[in-house]
Amino acid sequence: MNNITGIKYKINIAENNFKHNTKCRVCGNEKLHKFLSLGPIPLANSFLRKNQLDKTEDFYPLDVYFCSNCSLVQLLDVVSPKVLFKEYPYITGASKPMRIHFNGLTEDVFENYKISKDGLVIDIGSNDGTLLKCFSKFGLRILGIEPASNIARLAETNKIPTVNKFFNENCAVNVYKEYGPADIITATNVFAHTDNLENILRGVNHLLSNSGVFVIEVPYILNLLNNIEFDTIYHEHLSYFGVRPLTHLFRKFGMNIVNVKKIPVHGGSIRIFVQKFVTQQPQNVTKLLSLERGAKLDSLDTYMKFAEHVVLIKNKLVKLLMTLKNDGNRITGYGATAKGNTLLNYCKIGTDILDYISDTTPYKQGLYTPGMHIPIFSEEKFHEDPPDYTLLLAWNYADAILQKEKEYRKNGGRFILPIPEPKVI
């Protein structure tokens, strides 16, 4: 294994760009246990241009902790949001499965809640406006709040009214003054990204109408643990939620979970509906809480075992790739995902193994992955010059991708799935 790519670039631990928390972000407990260390590695979305490859790259610790009081799994090293989200390469609308998913979300809201015809929907972390576009089909007024300036501009070009700001209490007060109360507030993949959750919730509390519904989606910790989705751990994802810590959090603000359901995105997530002035705990919340107790999500031992599994996956994957490579096979990566960058950096998989990574996002094409510096090309290149094997870094879209690449597979091309156990399919 010693000819696997070593770190051949300059490392800089970017001390000035992150802070280290000493308390749990949900309950304030100081008794936190580190159970896994995946870093130091660069930020998962800090793709590089060719002329940046020789420059010193910023690395950050990637250590994962467990709170023995409220069971929240979390990072304590918090990279400044200004560094993380100023320019952002992830565009929701680039993934067809996400467009379909968001259509489903809007239908879910309309089926379960009475929303007035001229109601206002506000999406926190609205990205390119893909979700809001689905809502606008129902005739609602829409407003996006998006901190990344490049993405906010893109949304405006797509005719999605967008405030280019971080959402917090201050932002909520200003939005309320201009637009009034919101009937629906959505925050998909925002909670896991936020250090100061209380500031967001104060803002939501201010902005949400009394009968309004707040909908959040977060990756679910049980899926992370069951499928060993360790690569979904990266600096942007500060918390790995179960229902238990979320219940704890909303109660602090007089809000309650009124519905929860499991959804298949991002390796398995939960969609949670929250309202003010409702105190009854619905049955499906009780059910998930008991599932979490059964899975021993409140025990450090559960997480220690998970960490052991992660090391096993790393060793097995590297061995598999090396064997295939030594047998003369050409291998690429499929999907230049953020999680792919955790996987590649943690396992030190570089250009000596993967020729390139194909990705459908135009923004990423022509760039290089952070840390391992693997070039990213379009999907056309993958079809024009197909490799013998391709490592499925976008495993969360496995079904859609395997279906889409039927021709490649029929012609002998093979996908390698990295988790829950590396295997060729």
- Virtual CA dihedral for 264, 90, 23, 67, nearest 10 degrees? 20
Q: Between residues 302 and 360, which has the closer beta carbon with respect to ligand TMP? A: 360
29 interacts with Zn ion by CB under 5 A? yes
23 interacts with Zn ion by CB under 5 A? no
Among 160, 359, 374, 387, binds ligand TMP (CB under 6 A): 359
Residue 361 CB, nearest approach to ligand TMP (Å): 4
27 interacts with Zn ion by CB under 5 A? yes
Write each residue from 82 to 101 as x if it is in contact with ligand TMP (CB under 6 A), else as -, in one continuous string: --------x---xx-x----
Residues near ligand TMP (CB under 6 A), total? 18
Q: Between residues 78 and 338, which has the closer beta carbon with respect to ligand TMP? A: 338
72 interacts with Zn ion by CB under 5 A? yes
Q: Between residues 175 and 218, which has the closer beta carbon with respect to Zn ion? A: 218
234 interacts with ligand TMP by CB under 6 A? no
Among 332, 361, 365, 390, binds ligand TMP (CB under 6 A): 361
259 interacts with Zn ion by CB under 5 A? no
> Contact region for ligand TMP (CB under 6 A) — 15-23, 221-229, 274-282, 331-339?
331-339
360 interacts with ligand TMP by CB under 6 A? yes
Q: Between residues 52 and 360, which has the closer beta carbon with respect to ligand TMP? A: 360
344 interacts with ligand TMP by CB under 6 A? no
164 interacts with Zn ion by CB under 5 A? no
109 interacts with Zn ion by CB under 5 A? no
Residues forming contacts to Zn ion in the complex (CB under 5 A) are 24, 26-27, 29, 67, 69-70, 72
Residues forming contacts to ligand TMP in the complex (CB under 6 A) are 90, 94-95, 97, 335-338, 359-361, 364, 394, 396-397, 400-401, 404
